[in-house]
Structure 1
């Protein structure tokens, strides 16, 4: 019985310490990014490229570029819609 009282607190301590060993990740756009990975972040309507870093033992985004790669490309053209006449043409 005495062993149970000794092992129970040790087990609880290990159970609560387990999340501290999780790999650090940054979150953006609904996805997780590992340390060193980059993502295009949009803040206040402006986009920039940022890298996931560790700052004071916490994950943080560090700005790398003022714009995102591929953002300055020409806009993609949408296909032209085709209208179908409702009445057949007269000959």
Structure 2
């Protein structure tokens, strides 16, 4: 998928350092970013989301399970491992990401 495909209202990024989230929000302004500390247990976070990007570098197994239970069965699911706040590297990860759902 091209980077532009992630810059839409139906795309939710979960996890990531707050500095990384701020940098990525500046680039992908239409997407929704959720810090794992503020994720909660509500399915509302993923309402109308058709693309979910999990930053697994900052998630624990329990949080992953909460997300999987909350998303629609037909949502596209992508995994990235971006522990640092390097947005350039993250964009390269996204450019080669494959749907894992």
- Normalised to the residue count of structure 2, the TM-score between the two structures is 0.19
Q: Which has the higher contact order (CA 8 A, sep 6+)?
A: 2
Larger Rg, first or second structure (1 or 2): 1
Structure 1 or 2: more strand by fraction: 1
- Normalised to the residue count of structure 1, the TM-score between the two structures is 0.20
